[in-house]
Amino acid sequence: MHDASAARPLRSAPPTQPLSGRLRVAGDKSISHRALMFGALAVGTTSIEGLLEGEDVLRTAAAMRLLGATVDRLGDGAWRVSGRGVGGLTEPSDVLDMGNSGTAARLICGLLAGHPIFAVMTGDASLRRRPMKRVTDPLSATGARFFTREGGRLPLAVQGARDAVPLDYRLPVASAQVKSACLLAGLCARGTTRVIENEATRDHSENMLRHFGATVHVGIEGHGRVIELIGQPELVAAPVVVPGDPSSAAFLAVAALLVPGSHIVIENVGLNPLRAGIFTSLIEMGADIALTNQRIEGGEPVGDLVVKATQLQGADIPAGRAPSMIDEYPILAVAAASARGTTRMRGLAELRVKESDRLAGTAAMLRAAGASVEIEGDDLLVHGGAVPGGGVVTTNMDHRIAMSGLVLGLAAEAGMAVDDAGFIETSFPGFAALVNRVAGCQAILPIT
């Protein structure tokens, strides 16, 4: 696990040759979390292949063990979960430490709300600054009681509902985490849990609930959806093959777009349309990205990305696309910095409450490289052109800012440095080594 007292600075520089080759990125983090959680709630033994073995997901595995499930690692990415059944989780004997993972913390709040058990949850310094009221407020309507620090922050204690009440909740802002937490709580409730979202968000929870045997109905309402879950199902163990994480693939794709002459194939990438907004946006900017070998695995669309270096053009990225690419704005901003013209990314208020204030962090990253960037309300404007580079990115414990800064250094004339890359391991273990492999040189190096 990352030691915040021992920063791991890295630097990156333009590689001596184009990026090339075929590669696979780490397993999808969202699906990995859910595979462990739903496996713990299912009857029988669930086999998982391709699980992301970053720190965030390992925290979820540890939490499921504390809640009574048997969770075993069989080999690289191969795991087995023997579940307790819906309503069968047991009171943990220790604090649930979720590290840096906001997804795990918020989803497990939903899981705990429906079980009549007491638990305490904490996280690292970054996670303890992030608000949890967005989940604890709606989940309290199940009958669960939450006790948090001022501002709804971790550490928190929860006493789950003895007889959980089904929720009927309209999301005030688009959030797949809040939606998923409500559905997890609804598994233990007698009756139908109903969640309404004004904008469609990633639907991995709905897909996986069906995969494990739950009854989930999804209706369309305007630009959003109405999700209904029939409570107290018997979830039955089902194998899960985790595709490559599109968020992780985005870093390699942008690197290949920006390094002249590059041509890479990223295999087995999850292409869920509610997650693939980054690729839509890059293609609108003129990116040479082709989707091949498309198929369905475990209820999720999967395919290969063929990416060739391209001179990008500025674009206007609509606010309505934000839910499908909320984690990818820092790397999209890196692409925009090297594009011709101005790129406007609209409606980014949600970025202010990520691992850091990611909107401010993204702007600061680009400014450290000498790029021209402005924040107008909740919009980010990036004026593209040659990127001088040579600066140091302050990551503020944000793994996506760290990876974006390193990709930026591959295109910046004088390269870039990041003050701490240790948190990259939470979501993309082996990131630097993979970049160096396709670069054919040490494009990313430690600073000693």
Would you please indicate which residues are annotated as catalytic (active-site) residues?
327
Which helix (H) or strand (E) segment is 177 a member of? helix 176-186
Tokens 């604890």 identify what position?
136
Whether residue 71 contacts residue 40, with contact meaning beta carbons closer than 8 Å, is answered with: yes
- In terms of C-beta distances under 8 Å and separation of at least 24 residues, what long-range contacts does 65-72 make, across chains too? 66/92, 66/93, 66/94, 66/96, 67/40, 67/92, 67/111, 67/119, 68/40, 69/39, 69/40, 71/36, 71/39, 71/40
Whether residue 82 contacts residue 49, with contact meaning beta carbons closer than 8 Å, is answered with: no
CA 236 to chain centre: 26
Q: Are strands 168-170 and 316-317 parallel, antiparallel or unpaired?
A: unpaired
Is the peptide bond prior to 155 cis by the omega test (within 30 degrees of 0)?
yes
> Among residues 102, 96, 19, 91, which one has the least CA distance to residue 63?
96
Whether residue 314 contacts residue 343, with contact meaning beta carbons closer than 8 Å, is answered with: yes
In sequence order, what E strands does 83-137 have?
A: 96-97, 118-122
Q: How far apart (Å, rounded) are the C-alpha atoms in residues 136 and 152?
A: 8
Q: Give 166's contacts (C-beta < 8 A, 6+ positions apart).
A: 142, 186, 189, 190, 191, 192, 193, 194, 231
Whether residue 71 contacts residue 36, with contact meaning beta carbons closer than 8 Å, is answered with: yes
Backbone angles phi, psi at 266, to 5 degrees: -105, 110
Structure tokens given for 136: 């604890």
Q: How far apart (Å, rounded) are the C-alpha atoms in residues 11 and 366?
A: 15
Which helix (H) or strand (E) segment is 374 a member of? strand 372-376
